[in-house]
A and B are shown apart, each in its own frame.
Chain A
């Protein structure tokens, strides 16, 4: 059965081409129609594909053409739909469509409206290619492509230095991750002679348990390096908070709901490799857990509402990797989905606040907005409950699956994760209380956003509330063994932690606001450290960027290239030849007497040598 899966990414690609080439001349309504219509078409086609393949127990693969064929290596341009990619397809097209609608309101007054939507559509194209890919190289096409779109959209306000700096940082840091990813690919080819997921899975399953463990572990670690770049894990997370320089719908779609989860998806996609590399999984779990705590603590001390949510995203992605690392792949993907709902909602809500306050992002200049923006306020409340893991809301279910699996793997991981859940609830509610409670501290006139923006908020609020009842782990059961059933005490502890965080936030920012300042002072240098994000950016600048620049400029360019190679060797050899010539030139003096002297000297020399070696006897 040929379902023409290629149509799914094709629609947004057409949207990109039309708006990119003609958008400047088209009326705004047409731009909107093309942008929304193309994503709607993808969404509808995804639904059609699902209806054809239901219940999707196996994998449906389609081959289009040979992309690269060199020697034994044959890489096809192939797409696959199975239950894993189905989850991602639904998230990407569904949430993507909602955010597109929202963006038509948010970007309504922007002069680059067409440009924004052409990039947005291009992103959808690459993201869908990434999800549909049935080999690592096609996945890498989407992987790099979404990175490009991230670059374009983070740097959307390209006349502003903060935006272009953030865009460059995003691309370059991701390149470091891609360095690992591509090396992982090369080793995969070395070991398996193919990049096809299906074929690799088949050969891994027939491999004896110990065979190739070293190479497999290295492959998995290298692929995970790629994931730390794209999914903003320690130590490559630094680009994501800066990426908030882009328009808020970008933060919601790319830097919360979809692109940044690509690393999680990729690891889940090649879970058959990771399952053979327990050490790599352990590393992944520890990095994920560490990132979760680390970013959550930074999130406590941020004043920019988008930065709070950005660090929250880094932290939640850490949870997902914790889940993957302890073997609960389906729990990780489950969290990808619920996170897409509530984090997209948090960002869109933040965008609604920013839109309503004419661009204000600082929490210190907000406050008391719940009357002026009731829909934004209460939808954000639901999102905050969801991310805090309050029982019944979506985040509770997925986070609980992860923590239960962590407990089964190593109890200390569970405890760290549970404490992080408390911190998460604290900083999210801190932001919510600071924005919507107390008295208004800004000077803009606040207003509620139009229906095109609040509509998606309400839909996402419903999904954030009840999304946990979509049983993703059960859906993925044919692919991954079922994770540990949540122990009641595990559930109780993590839920309590979340509630505790909410209560502390309530106490510090609503009931006794003066205490928050005092707590800040009491923490002293510790607070400064956290507020400055542990100075990681500064460390990278001083330890990595500045030395590379210095060495390149002074040692390599001025020293090796100009002084040593060019002046000493190249020009030096020229000068050397010339000076020999200069020396020999002295002989050509033009004076007859000199020449006669030389002739005489030469003759004497000849006679002397002939006499010496016995030519004449």
Chain B
């Protein structure tokens, strides 16, 4: 039995099972937890083959899905070093989200929540694992719908406006991508990613510079909104703040990786000339995002909004790493996708527990709670330290490699981006001080600490933050194997790099 199929379709089956279960009972929770845990266990089986050879696709599935004379759409999925850890991150965080939902969402509303979580898992795992452009687009939208519903029906007071902005904004980007997918099909005659990729690699198919620029921009539009890259980020603070805690947790930890993953897998890998051509501009945007997000995080009065802007800043590192076109930068970017998922996810998880206990996310409503909730304060501090890139914790590895890659490509990039590292300490520690330290006021004097059940959700994440930070040999080699292949491919297509669009138009005039 193919474990990827299990990982992918078990959540979908679970979605239907939960719909059949009674509303006000423990059953939906039990079912959701068991299904997500089973999915996680199944996904663990994906590791072995990839670790043996990270540059090759393993656990592959290839079915003919829709067949017509003009186009063949396959359901083609597989795992390699680039998506392995992202799939595992997703399957690991879903049980955590289910667990968290059970304690922060009112009982009579849990059933649809669990159902939507499972549908979301199906969509996200699909996005990360499919290798057919059309199927990719389908899953891209499938993942969007449950998240839209989660934000729109379970969120805060401004939830409808936030959900609408989130949906329309991301949709606008993805429609451009769809157009480009169809155009690419027109050029290549297939939707199959590996097919296109190997034809380009072997020189059987050639995308001219103009085509690459166009296709790159179309894909980039969808991914840039999804990441988001500044200035396409304004949906993010609103959505993250209004979304219910488990949804914010998944948005930040998993969903933001759809964009960065897409950038690497599709935009950079398929259209190297386009990527190289726009690299300077995109890296500049990424760096602006790093500094800008950090500066805005400095002065946010709301904990969720603060973490949201810090997320914008951290995601800038990932994008920067991808567009250094160095082994270090690309490895760092992929590593940072996982590390950011863990650390920012855990921050939102703990923020969710804070919100549940105080009914607010305004920093001024907190203060001095370390005295009565030392466990929560300690867990938050460790997570925060991971987030600001303390060595021995996960984000450091990613940030170090990204900045190293940036320094090798263009030293000034590293200089500007490293300012974000300074600022991250400032905004996080100021928030921590105002929230947890100081003398508690009367309301916060007996703030409930984390319970045993809460610890179950946070401890695995903390353990992984330490593991990723201390022993990268467990995770990095398959990533390196896969990214080095893409970079190698990029170098082979170097001939297009020198051709600027101005020269291209001149050529056409001559004709």
Question: Which A residues fall within an 8 A CB radius of B?
Answer: 65-73, 137, 140-141, 144-145, 148, 151, 155, 158-161, 164-165, 167-168, 171-172, 175-176, 178-179, 182-183, 185-187, 189-190, 548-549, 551-553, 556-557, 561, 565-566, 569-570, 574
Contact = CB atoms under 8 A, between A and B. Distances in A.
B478 interface: no
Contacts of B391: 137, 140-141, 144-145
Contact of A141 (B392, B430, B476): B392
B234 A175 contact: no
Contact of B438 (A68, A161, A175, A557): A161
A68 B472 contact: yes
A65 B474 CA distance: 12
Given A71-B331, A140-B391, A190-B407, 4 more contacts: A66-B473, A159-B438, A172-B426, A549-B298
A168 B433 contact: yes
B421 A70 contact: no
Contacts of A557: 296, 299-300
B332 A70 contact: yes
8 contacts: A69-B473, A72-B327, A145-B391, A145-B392, A148-B390, A172-B429, A176-B422, A179-B418
B403 A182 contact: yes
Contact of B421 (A68, A161, A179): A179
B390 A65 contact: no
A71 B298 contact: no
A68 B480 contact: no
B295 A175 contact: no
Interface string B426-440: 100110010011111
Contacts of B436: 158
B49 interface: no
A41 B233 CA distance: 53
Contacts of B332: 70
Nearest to B230: A565
Contacts of A549: 298-299
Interface stretch (B77-85, B182-190, B408-416, B449-457): B408-416
B447 interface: no
Given A171-B425, A172-B422, A144 B234 contact: no
B418 A148 contact: no
A141 B296 CA distance: 29
Nearest to B425: A175
B357 to A, nearest CB: 19
A164 B390 contact: no
B interface majority secondary structure: helix
A186 B433 contact: no
Contacts of A561: 234, 296
Contacts of A574: 168
Nearest to B399: A182
A73 B328 contact: yes
B248 to A, nearest CB: 19
A71 B371 contact: no
Contacts of A189: 404, 407-408
Given A164-B437, A566-B234, A183 B425 contact: no
Given A164-B437, A171-B425, A570-B235, A71 B407 contact: no
B463 to A, nearest CB: 13
A556 B292 contact: yes
Contacts of B296: 552, 556-557, 561
Given A68-B476, A556-B292, A186 B411 contact: yes
Contacts of A178: 421-422
Given A65-B471, A549-B299, A565 B231 contact: yes
A136 to B, nearest CB: 11
Contact of A187 (B168, B233, B401, B411): B411
B286 interface: no
Contacts of B400: 68, 137, 182
A178 B421 CA distance: 9
A551 B407 contact: no
Contact of A570 (B234, B326, B473, B477): B234
A565 B292 CA distance: 13
A164 B392 CA distance: 24
Contacts of A186: 403-404, 407-408, 411, 414
Interface in B23-60: none
A182 B299 CA distance: 26
Contacts of A175: 421-422, 425-426
Contacts of A556: 292, 295-296
A561 B299 CA distance: 13
Nearest to A222: B415
A569 B230 CA distance: 13
A168 B295 contact: no
B269 interface: no
Contacts of A155: 437
Nearest to B294: A552
B169 A570 contact: yes
Interface string B319-336: 000000011100110000
Contacts of B407: 183, 186-187, 189-190
Interface string B362-403: 000000101100000000000001000011100001001101
Nearest to A157: B437
Contacts of B433: 164-165, 168
B419 interface: yes
Nearest to B231: A565
A145 B393 CA distance: 11
Contact of A190 (B390, B411, B440, B471): B411
Given A164-B437, A566-B234, A69 B477 contact: yes
A70 B401 contact: yes
A141 B397 CA distance: 11
Top 10 nearest A-B pairs (CB, nearest first) are: A71-B327, A186-B407, A566-B234, A552-B295, A141-B391, A70-B331, A553-B299, A175-B425, A164-B437, A158-B437
Contacts of A159: 368, 371, 437-440
A182 B414 CA distance: 10
A171 B429 contact: yes
B72 interface: no
Nearest to A142: B391
Contact of B408 (A161, A190, A548): A190
A181 to B, nearest CB: 10
Contacts of A165: 433
B309 to A, nearest CB: 9
B295 A551 contact: yes
Interface string B265-282: 000000000000000000
Contacts of B234: 561, 565-566, 570
A185 B165 CA distance: 43
A145 B233 CA distance: 34
Contacts of B284: none
Nearest to B169: A570
A182 B392 CA distance: 15
B299 A68 contact: no
B493 interface: no
B390 A570 contact: no
B241 to A, nearest CB: 13
Contacts of B235: 570
B484 interface: yes
Contacts of A158: 370, 436-438
A176 B299 CA distance: 19
Contacts of B397: 68
In this complex, the member of B397, B415, B429 whose beta carbon has the largest number of chain A beta carbons within 10 angstroms is: B429
